[in-house]
Structure 1
Amino acid sequence: MDSHAPAPVVSRIVSGDVPSGASELNGLDLNDPDFTRFVCNPVSGEVFRLPDIDGTKKTMFRGCQNTGLLTRSAAAHGPADSYAVAMLHADRSGGTFTMRRFLSQTVEWEKLTGLPSPLPIRRPMEIYPYTPRRDLPELHFVELPGGSGWPVASSTDTHVQGMHRRVGVSEGRLCYVEVSQKDPFVLSSFALDDDGVGWTPEHRVALGRLCTVNGRGPKDTPRIAVIDPLDASVIFVIVGEHLLAVDMDMEKVLRCSPADETDSVPYAITSVLKPCVLPPWLASAKIPATGTSSGNKGVDKSKALSDLLVRVDRGKKN
């Protein structure tokens, strides 16, 4: 994201006659910033700049948030041969969805409009990264487990509620986890049935007696961080300033570490922590080569992440 703001340098005396520079940002304009998107290998630092959507960087209000990435490999467990980048946007007025999708084979963004919604869109929706491979995605509605549905909430309530429930993938299945709002803060997990129409209860444990730090239990409702992608019985929760790995099968805390999420409190829907499995070959893997269609005009070649980072002291004068 690229925006502009004046950045005056304010000098102040720290001790004696030794000044120290402190920068301030005033008048930062985030109404419609420029967006540039990249595909990045997080281990090697290699990046590939995606073309601008609709030929513009002004895409904040075009339904171009919550981007998902999906790779595909000819080998079962090898580096990717191709990838897709996609984002899904709900059109509340028409009861349909719009999807933007970039395929590495074509090097172009495509727009699929009028995707029918499986139910009327009557309340705000938070769409997590969504990356379908099919030419025409099929959208399905699966109701949450009994007792998990909440009344229509304000936007603020939606943000707060989002801290205490999570949908994720573990052991190859879609999982749903939630924690009750009052002591003993019961943590419950469910797995989507094979037919994709309902949920099977998997685990249920009271966090109030398990998640004690320095001899004290949770004061506020624990926040759900992530579901372990390899073990559906392990849920990471944030209690105060600590991250705890809870094994729901064994009903015990496996480990505890500091968790500094002050920048995401109190209205972050998802934790800044993300579940991932890094394969051993990722460090040497290259981002799949893109196609040769005319859509790649103006697209940068792959380069190292360090080539794109801009130092604040590089001598900009305005």
Structure 2
Amino acid sequence: MPLPLRRLSSPLRRSLSTAASRPAWAMVYRISTAEESARGASLSLAPPPLPSRVTVPKRAFALDPLPAADRRFINVFGSSVLAASGHGLLLLGAYKNRANAFEMFEDRPPSAVPFEVLDQVYERWCCSDPMRLARFVCNPVTGEMARLPDFDGTEDAFAASTGLLTHADGGHGPPKRYAAAQLSVVDRGRRFLLRRLTSETGKWDELLLPSPLPPGRRMHMNHEVLDFGGRLWWVDVSWGALNVDPFSDRPELCPVELPGGSMLPNQQSAIEMWQLLLHRRMGVSDGRLRFVEVSEEPFRIKSFTLGGDSGRWTLEHQVSWRTLYSDAKATPLIAAIDPLNPDSLYFTVLVGKASCLSVDLSVPVGKALCLGVDMRSKRPTESMALGGGGVHPSKCNSSFVLPCVLPSFLGSSSIPGKNGLMKNKTLADILVRSDKQPNA
């Protein structure tokens, strides 16, 4: 059952910061929320290791009215942060459906007021209609949102991993164009379907590409898509990543394997991959690709960097978890790789569970902390309790935040592209802007 659920009765608190007070980057909480009166998106900023929250306007969901006489169903909706680009733009997903109220609320249906599902993974077992999903490119500082066109007749459009790539003139300054792309496995893993859209065209196209993976190996893409080196990277934490240039006239999937000791020889199940994701992350820091893993007990953290010329991974840091945190009952989960400081990592520490990496999220969490660590000096730098501001400790597993850089130009730049060409009116607003834009 999708929990928690919240009736929309009062506006949420909004916060837009100025460039002077804005941190250089944010740990963006992937579960976003809706606000009745908002004209655009807003980012309630908090300096790491605290998560920052995204709020979207409720009208972006364009919820259909329900028949007055039929109280069996209720509109449910939710939204999440799907990806972040290297220039600070976000890709948001807003979904809605119609659910059986008696199944959701145990024979106690609420009023016809829509309910917001506050969960990163939307449970669909109680819903009666096909999932409807809209994607937006968002400037988190100004609140500007540009809706992407919908896919036509695709059943896997909701689940497949989608990334956002931005380009700037000369590699510096505000982005001048972007590409959104989605990769999904077809033909039993023998090929991939690449859906892509560029801001110049404003339209999706589809390409079938051969799989560069070893025969019989299938890709599990439950990791966020990365923007790195002018390419989008889809990550499988059991063996490596595939990257592609979505702007290319002839895109080609290029594989990059994990460090030799980290590659798993056998195909992993979906459940095994979710558990593996708890203690393995890939990310971009200081312009280079990084990979971090936590070994099984006794926990040991290893940090690798991909060489730009050699294409090989180099072990940069390793440290025992006991050196950083003394509580033997605490379970370390990788929360984020600092995008600016390659020596800095952030871990979620769950207290109140068995000290293992196979975390059962049905077991109550006594306390959740976010711990900043300096891998070079092998010491903790900061620790903050999680649980306030709508962040529930049971949701603070791996992947609950996305690192997002916040360059100073975001406060005065617009989302590039031919947004006026997007004619799909199933949502109320194609392009919405914040009523208050901070100065750069």
Structure 2 counterparts to residues 61-140 of structure 1, below 5 A: 61-62=156-157, 65-74=160-169, 76-91=171-186, 93=188, 95-126=190-221, 128-129=224-225, 131=232, 132=245, 133-140=247-254
Q: Secondary structure at the match of 2:407?
A: coil
Aligned-residue sequence identity (percent) comes to: 36
TM-aligned CA deviation for residue 233 of structure 1: 1.1
* Preserved CA contact (<8 Å) 2:162 2:181: yes
Aligned to 2:285: 170
Deviations 1:63-107 (A, max 9, x none): 762211111222543222211111111225251111110111111
Contact 2:97 2:129 in 1 (8 A): no
Unaligned runs of 5+ in 1: 13-20, 307-318
Question: For residues 424 and 378 of structure 2, what CA distance do their matches in structure 1 show?
Answer: 54
- Aligned pair in 2 of structure 1 residues 136, 218: CA closer, same or farther (>3 Å)? farther
How large is the Cα RMSD of the aligned pairs?
A: 3.1
Instruction: Give distance in 1, aligned partners of 2:215 and 2:271.
Output: 22
Deviates more, 1:93-102 or 1:242-251: 93-102
Q: Report the equivalent of 1:259.
A: 386
The answer as to 2:432 corresponding to 1:303 is yes
SS in 2 for 1:52: coil
Determine if the alignment matches structure 1 residue 231 to structure 2 residue 341.
yes
User: 5+ residue gaps in structure 2?
Assistant: 1-94, 118-123, 227-231, 233-244, 351-367, 436-440
Supply the distance in 2 between the matched residues of 1:83 and 1:153 (Cα, whole angstroms).
Answer: 33
For residues 46 and 189 of structure 1, the distance between their equivalents in structure 2, rounded to whole angstroms, comes to 36
- Pairwise mapping of residues 177-188 of structure 1 onto structure 2 (< 5 A)? 177-183=292-298, 185-188=299-302
Q: Deviations over 1:213-243 (max 9, x none)?
A: xxxx242541011111111111111111111
For residue 35 of structure 1, what is the aligned residue in structure 2? Answer: 133
* 1:198 alignment partner in structure 2: 312
More strand by proportion, 1 or 2? 2
TM-score in terms of structure 2 length: 0.58
List per-residue Cα deviations over 1:179-216 (Å, max 9, x = no partner).
11102x1100111122454211100011112123xxxx
Taking the aligned partners of 1:301 and 1:237, their CA distance within structure 2 comes to 37
Judging changes above 3 Å, is the alpha-carbon distance between structure 1 residues 73 and 149 closer, same or farther for their aligned structure 2 residues? closer
**CA distance in 2 between partners of 1:123 and 1:218 (Å):** 36
Equivalences, count: 284
Q: Is the 8 A contact 1:189 1:204 kept in 2?
A: yes
Structure 1 contact 225–238 (Cα < 8 Å) conserved: yes
Distance 1:142 1:135, change over 3 A: same
